[in-house]
Amino acid sequence: MFKKILIANRGEIACRIIKTARRMGIATVAVYSDADARAPFVQMADEALHIGPSPAAQSYLIADKIIAACKATGAEAVHPGYGFLSERTSFAEALAKENIVFIGPPVNAIAAMGDKIESKKLAMKAGVNVVPGFVGEIDDTEHAVRISEEIGYPVMMKASAGGGGKGMRLAYNEQDVREGFEATKREGLNSFGDDRVFIEKFILNPRHIEIQILGDQHGNILYLNERECSIQRRHQKVVEEAPSPFVTPKMRKAMGEQCVALSRAVGYYSAGTVELIVSGADPSGESFYFLEMNTRLQVEHPVTECITGIDLVEQMIRVAAGEKLAMTQDDIKIDGWAIENRVYAEDPYRGFLPSTGRLTRYRPPVAGWTEDEEANGRRGVEGVRVDDGVYDGGEVSMFYDPMIAKLITWGKTRDEAADLQIAALDRFEIEGLGHNIDFVSAIMQHPRFRSGELTTGFIAEEYPDGFHGAASTPDLVKSLAAIAGFVATAEADRARHVDGQLGDTLDPPARWQVKIGDAVHDIEMIDGDMHVDGEHFDLSMEYDPGDRLIEAEVGDEELAVKVSKMRTGFKLTTRGATHIARVLPGHIAHLADHMIEKIAPDLSRFLICPMPGLLTTLHVNAGDAVEAGQPLAVVEAMKMENILRAEKSGTVKIVNAKAGDSLAVDAVILEME
């Protein structure tokens, strides 16, 4: 076994690998950029070496720097995690030349599966079902249009070397192809150094299901069941679960055996994932097709670990060291259900715009997963596990992807795992930047999610007008009103004791009026008991002024509520929604009806940058006439291109920025007449 390994990655996956290596008695080396100098993974590793500036292209993506770090520290092997150099054949080859072990699959398998065009050809030869499409290189946009028309719309355009949801465009017509083909090429070139694109038929009512593969260097290859990854936004997975609510035992066996056959055809070993697109319109479950193979560890690997009890990182290390797998296919079982939600630095209330900045407060519901959970099948504390790589006061940088953490829950049933997600998300405290906690909590509660009727179009179909918070029941609003009244009483009681300046004779108001949305409730404390609208209300809670998280019991139900003060009340967040509670003493509540409403200014004639990013393209100049919906500019943020369009027709008056400028959020790019 190795004595020392180097992790050629950062963030939560670097922390994840270090934890398993430590449990195995293996020393670890971290490499880090300027932006990650104080990151948790750097502190956790036994050794850490600085390898360059913040941009990945100047640090984590330079193989020579990784190899130099191995030589300097005596690391015998490298675990690449996912992303960065994990599927770069030149990196694996360079390591081999220096007699450094690559903890991953053989180079020929990476090469074969990393090229989507070639991998599709290999899949066909191995007897794997493939999606109808054009397998070959596409010359230009006109060629792409002809191919798309021959296949039949809708079609999906994909960067050949793509992954992680990048370099993909869905086209419903010729105009979509003309607008998206060049953008797909650019994203492929910028993210993967390869601008080749292929086009295939888009499967209706598609489900995204993947099979976890594990093989050793002695010819043993197993499939570790499936994961359902259908809930995606912009082709980026948001929710993953294992097993799938759609897959039958017969279907699981057919999928698994085809994926093993493909893996065997390329001599695969280590952990890998074969991604499949499944037609949800086929009740037989037999319409599944090869999508791609990821020759690395997946972001969503924890859900497989939870239901199988197998540490995939440990197995990768053991396989790389030449050990045989200690289990057979018959040993692979399904125990319970696991769900993973990706907690991203993005604002779902503002169209999921990336949100970078400092985490002024970071409190996960449980401490990050530790090796002492080995006896609990890597399921976390009481079924809750957090894989993260950030810290309180740290920064989520514009240089890398927007993931803050992964929240994984395990239960005996799917509903139990989902309920644990809701409870844990309510207790997840993140301040300082936008995040998607409300959004993923809303998904966990959604009737369609609960029914298991999932497709990759779930988010677009269920939130066509954007996300505005999870739906709330009148009972929940009533509970929040009671909590707001309790907090207001506690705050008022504190205020009268501040240096005694208010005098002990000024008792806090006993009655409050709380307005949440259109609902108005009268709250009264009588001899320490809560009354809402004249009736006794069963509320049990404690609150100290300054608390940000309240643990309350409403009747027999537990309710965790995040609270922050506002000028006229409180902001209360729970169950996937943020509620503004206006709280006034009962005797002056009528004055609120006479307050003047502030009207927001009209900003429709300005093109405002919605996120921090790089202005890569400006399509217009001063004096140009534009039509509503016309592309005006392209801003790149967190490795994704965002097209900004005109809200209305008009003429450009002033242009305030140029291509190549780094823009702050709310920067005015141009102004219309």
Shortest CA distance to 409 belongs to which of 394, 396, 424? 424
Q: Looking at the structure, do residues 225 and 354 belong to the same domain, yes or no?
A: yes
Which of the listed ranges 278-292, 350-364, 577-591 does the model predict with the highest average pLDDT?
350-364
Flag whether 22 is in a domain.
yes
Cis bond upstream, residue 243 (ω within 30): yes
Peptide bond into 206 cis (omega under 30): no
Contact 363, 392 (CB under 8 A): yes
284 pLDDT band, cuts 50/70/90, is low
User: Which one has a higher pLDDT value, 351 or 604?
Assistant: 351
Choice among 119-128, 417-426, 434-443, 550-559 with the minimum mean pLDDT? 119-128
Q: Do both 549 and 643 map to the same domain?
A: no
- What's the CATH number where 18 sits? 3.40.50.20
Instruction: Say if residue 292 is in the same domain as residue 389.
Output: yes
Q: Which of 561, 594, 627 is the last residue of a domain?
A: 594
Pick from 276-280, 422-426, 505-509, 642-646: least confident: 505-509
Q: Is 150 a catalytic site residue? A: no
Q: Region 26-44: what's the mean pLDDT? A: 97
Cα separation of 485 and 530, whole Å?
A: 9
**pLDDT recorded at residue 375:** 46
* Domain finish residue from 417, 436, 462: 462
Contacts made by residues 319-323, CB under 8 angstroms, sequence distance 24+: 319/214, 319/215, 319/216, 319/217, 319/269, 319/270, 320/2, 320/77, 320/101, 320/102, 320/103, 320/104, 320/270, 321/1, 321/2, 321/77, 321/101, 322/217, 323/216
Domain identity same for 244 and 154: no
Secondary structure in 3-state letters for 335-375? CCEEEEEEEECEEHHHCCEECCEECCEEECCCCCCCHHHHH
Looking at the fold, whether 137 and 42 belong to one and the same domain comes out as: no
Q: Which of 139-153, 443-457, 634-648 has the lowest mean pLDDT?
A: 634-648
pLDDT of the residue at 597: 54
pLDDT at residue 373, as a whole number: 55
Q: Looking at the domain assignment, is residue 639 inside a domain?
A: yes
Q: Are residues 213 and 197 in the same domain?
A: no
Domain coverage including residue 268: 208-462
- In this structure, are 437 and 575 located in the same domain? no
Whether residue 235 is predicted with pLDDT greater than 90 in this model: the reply is no
* pLDDT score of 281 more than 80: no
Residue in 200, 228, 292, 340 annotated catalytic: 292
* Separation of alpha carbons 58 and 65, rounded Å: 10
Top-ranked range on mean pLDDT: pick from 47-51, 623-627, 660-664:
47-51
pLDDT value, residue 287: 78
pLDDT band at 510 (very low <50, low <70, confident <90, very high): confident
The answer, yes or no, to whether residue 252 has pLDDT greater than 60, is yes
CATH number of the domain enclosing 651: 2.40.50.100
Confidence of residue 509 (pLDDT cuts 50, 70, 90): confident
Please provide the average confidence, as pLDDT, over all residues in the chain.
Answer: 90
Identify whether residues 159 and 55 lie together within a single domain. no
Average the pLDDT over 446-452 and give the result: 97
For residues 552 and 649, membership in a common domain is answered with no
- Chain segment 296-311, per-residue pLDDT in tens: 999 999 999 999 999 9
Say if residues 145 and 171 touch (Cβ distance below 8 Å).
no
Question: Which pLDDT score, from 0 to 100, does residue 659 have?
Answer: 92
What's the CA gap between 299 and 133, in Å, rounded?
28
Percent of the chain whose pLDDT exceeds 90: 70
* Domain edge (last residue) among 404, 428, 462: 462
Query: Within this chain, do residues 550 and 658 fall inside the same structural domain, yes or no?
Result: no
Q: What is the pLDDT of residue 272?
A: 98
Residue 112 counted as domain residue = no
User: Is residue 467 a part of any domain in this protein?
Assistant: no
Q: pLDDT value at position 73?
A: 98
Question: What pLDDT shows up at residue 588?
Answer: 67
Q: Has residue 122 been placed in a domain?
A: no
Q: Which helix (H) or strand (E) holds 426?
A: helix 414-426
The Cα 123–Cα 129 span in angstroms is 7
Greatest extent of the chain over all pairs of C-alpha atoms, in Å: 87
Same domain, residue pair 447 and 343: yes
pLDDT score, position 363: 95
CA distances to 160, 171, 202 from 166, in Å:
11, 15, 17
| Residue 601 within any structural domain of the chain | no
Considering only residues 249 and 118, tell me which one the structure prediction assigns the higher pLDDT: 249
Report, as an integer, the average pLDDT of 281-294: 80
In the chain, the amino acid numbered 592 is A
Look at 336 and 585; give whichever has higher pLDDT. 336
Residue 513, class by beta-carbon neighbours within 10 Å (0-12 exposed, 13-18 middle, 19+ buried)? buried
Domain contains 599:
no
Phi-psi region of 596 (alpha: psi -120 to 50; beta: other; left: phi over 0): beta
Domain-located, residue 489 = yes
103 pLDDT higher than 80: yes
Going by C-alpha positions, the residue among 299, 378, 367 that lies closest to residue 338 is: 378
Does residue 64 carry a pLDDT above 90?
A: yes
Within 13 Å, how many C-alpha atoms sit on residue 263's CB side?
A: 31
Q: Is 393 in the same domain as 276? A: yes
Of the listed ranges 20-24, 188-192, 334-338, the least confidently predicted one is 188-192
Q: What pLDDT shows up at residue 568?
A: 87
> How far is the CA of 308 from the CAs of 263, 333, 406, 546, in angstroms?
21, 6, 19, 42
- Give the strand pairing for 221-228 and 206-215: antiparallel
Phi, psi of 280 (to 5 degrees): -70, -10
The 10 Å Cβ neighbour count of residue 648 is 11
Q: pLDDT tier at 144 (50, 70, 90 boundaries)?
A: very high
DSSP per residue, 442-508 = HHHH-HHHHHT---TTHHHHH-TT--------HHHHHHHHHHHHHHHHHHHHHHTTGGGTT-TT-PP
More confident residue, 228 or 179: 228
CATH of the domain at 175: 3.30.1490.20
- Percent above pLDDT 70 for the chain: 92
Please tell me the predicted confidence (pLDDT) of residue 377. 57
User: Into how many domains does the chain fold?
Assistant: 5
Tell me what the mean pLDDT of segment 485-503 comes to. 72
**Which one-letter amino acid corresponds to residue 124?**
M
Query: Tens digits of per-residue pLDDT, 87-100?
Result: 999 999 999 999 99
The CATH number of residue 286's host domain is 3.30.470.20
